[in-house]
Structure 1
Amino acid sequence: MASAAGEGNLVCGRVDPTGRLVEADQMLGRLQQEAGAEVGQRLMLPQLAAVARLVRKLGIAVARPAVVAGRDYDVELWVRGEPDGDDVLLTIESWRRRPPQGARLEQAVRGEELLPTPRGEWATDADLRVTEMSSDLADLLGVGAGDVAGQPLTRLLRLVEGEDGEMPLLTAMAARTAFSGQLATARSASGTKLTLDGEPITGADGSFAGYRGRAAPEAKPVPAAANESGNAALGIDPALDHALRSPIDRIIRAADDIAGRMEGPLRSDYAAYAGDIAAAARHLLSVIRSMVDQPPQAGATIDLAALADEAIGLVEAQAEDKGIMLARSGAGRLDAAGDRRAVIQILVNLLGNAVRHSPAGSTVTIGLAAGTDFASATVSDEGPGIAPVDQERIFERFEQAEQGGGAGLGLAIARRLARSMGGDITLVSTLGEGARFTLSVPLA
């Protein structure tokens, strides 16, 4: 195997069917040693091992960016894996060393610059079959990020001619060159419009091996309802956004793998716990997205009763810890118009607040009802109630009825989301008699 002399050269390795790094150029071998193993032993670099497993699973070449930690430095690289008999051949390019990165959340708090989480990124092999896609782009296309590998890019996106009648991607494909400004439309029901840019990937032998690039969605205007006085969009610092999304994505992937017993047999109760972890992490991710991404879609038909049950499931562990019972009353099904993700987020916030402020042994109830124009879900608790002077203030950013209950953003986000769907959140409370928060959304 050829030796790699330094940055800019290709660095190669070979992984056998048991996951051992059986061959490696000097630089890759050094990283393996610094991770606590030798060449010939199991590959101890998780990012590269994941590429090898995916190649073996799909039987196609896979390429993606990665950051690998050495003993006292990090390496930013682009790794490509391809089947080679029973083995997987790893080819690393764009090898760039940099100082070690500290904990991402700690860096964000200190205001330091972070390596951005990949956004809108994709990669294909030489036949334009997808080898990698970032989770946010998969969400835009209405597909699962883990389900697109091996699919033709054109099955997910309909390429659109520019004003000059050209399709930059197809023109570049013929010449194996970079391209920009390729218009495309998602083939899913969302019909999202995007612009693609890409650059060619070179294989170990110097041949064309595919494309890697970015997709930028067409900007959408924010509905006026989301910007009413006192309910402007609730921003989050970009550094914190980058710091939070990546580890949460990893938690979801790891929990899904455990729940699906991807790493081997597992007791059913542990698999169920992993499923709960994945569900809670997805909810947390939806909270972050609601603060930085586009507002929810207001027109979809949802079953408010089913979403209430799902929200109860997400809060159940918190309630059990406090000895509080959760109950639901009303219709078994209640069709409404709104956004599934936003409604669950709102109900989880209202239920969580109710549990937090209720005494042990009490009951928190979510009651469903249909009016003339609106469907409603009312969360009632047996807590101390909220003073009249605080009942409007608690819907403002960073405001709380009492100290120590959180950041004071939950109700502000919830009301903004409700109003962006054409609904609202109202409160009825008397001191000493608990509180009743009602989410209303239009009937379907």
Structure 2
Amino acid sequence: MDYRDFVVFPIVVAIIYLVAYTLRPSVTDEVTRRYFFPALTVKIAGALIVGLVYQFYYGGGDTFNYHTYGSRYVWEAFWESPMTGFKLIFNNGYDYNGVYKYASKIPFFRDPPSYNIVKIAAICDLFTFSCYSATAALFAAFCFVGMWQFFLTFYEQYPHLHKGLAIATFFIPSVFFWGSGLLKDTITLGCLGIATFQIYKIFIVRQPSLSRITMLLLSFYGLYAIKIYILLTFLPAAILWVFLFNLRTIRSQAIRTIVFPFVLGIAGALAYFATLKASEDNPKYAISSLARTAQETAYDIRFQTGKDAGSGYTLGELDGTLGSMLALAPQAINVSIFRPYLWEARNPFMILSALESFALLLTTLYLLWKRNLQVFSALLSPNIFFCLLFSLTFAFAVGVSTYNFGTLVRYKIPLMPFFVVGLMLMLDYSNRDRNVEVLEPTEY
């Protein structure tokens, strides 16, 4: 921290709140207005706390490196020569021509996903005079925009669940902490929220517009450029979500029952080809390479971050084949959502994560034990199917490729709002009158 954090940060936060105050009437109603500023405040506070934790507890780390050894060099380049700054912003991470003086100091320069975060931070630095806390606040504000849209996606359909939806979206501790700072997770979580809302508006509510399509494409690009595996797990679930919602247009229950398997097949095929297309520029995430990538990532993360910290875990042997990876799916899903267990916690942050996981475990067991019949029939609800398909698929992806609890608590935050919303909708479904048709959605 330096003097800029005490001068620039309050000014930037004041501007964020002024803009939010101006926009609030157009994005809230009498019910949701009460959550708007608390949710924004939690995000900004989370951004500030993440910076303090990394500086004084960890003594450095990703958020520190993205700024101090990344965006600040780009900001300095702009002051010396705007042309050099623009070259760094639009650089693909491999061309040192004319930028070597600065690029050679940036350890993430040849790592495109990480360098994309550096570039976003550098653009923010132009408005914050390279003040870390102010730039982090802008990251948090972007994520808030995305998560507010995620909240509205389900609030518009289930207005009576507003309190639970607000908690699931904004106030899960691990999500507002790790999803608020100057990190990849903040940008990707915001993009995920925007993509969910725009898909809902364009393909389900059928209110397409040029601005909505543009926002959807930009959110997809953000996921693709920073964490492509989030996009690869989100696309299949989103496509199935849209297909299941549109299946309602067939009024005959008998015909819907017959058509349902074909819809799943077509949606599955589209999802498969969408996944192929999304990964074609990155061989590591091609279908044929996923198992090997998962193996290398899991062992690299455990070696680099967990060998001496007592936070490593193992699910079994990964030999780089798809079969060995799929065989670990139940354990991978369990570790992502319900672990670390209380007795596995080794430090204060693991204890907090363990308490959160324990609460999710109790809630899930309650649903499965007390309301098992309704739970399984509720899976035919498009919203529940979408939330659980994405969250469980993502839980498998990160659980099988991380092997370190400290890293996992960050990597898994995209699934948490979806999983908790899914549980909430299942509970709501089981409390409804059983005469309500399964595929009939709540009124918009």
Q: Which has the higher strand share?
A: 1
Could you say which TM-score interval applies, normalised by the shorter chain? under 0.3
The TM-score, its normalising length taken from structure 1, stands at 0.25
Q: Which has the higher helix share?
A: 2
Q: Which has the higher contact order (CA 8 A, sep 6+)?
A: 2
- Greater Rg by CA: 1
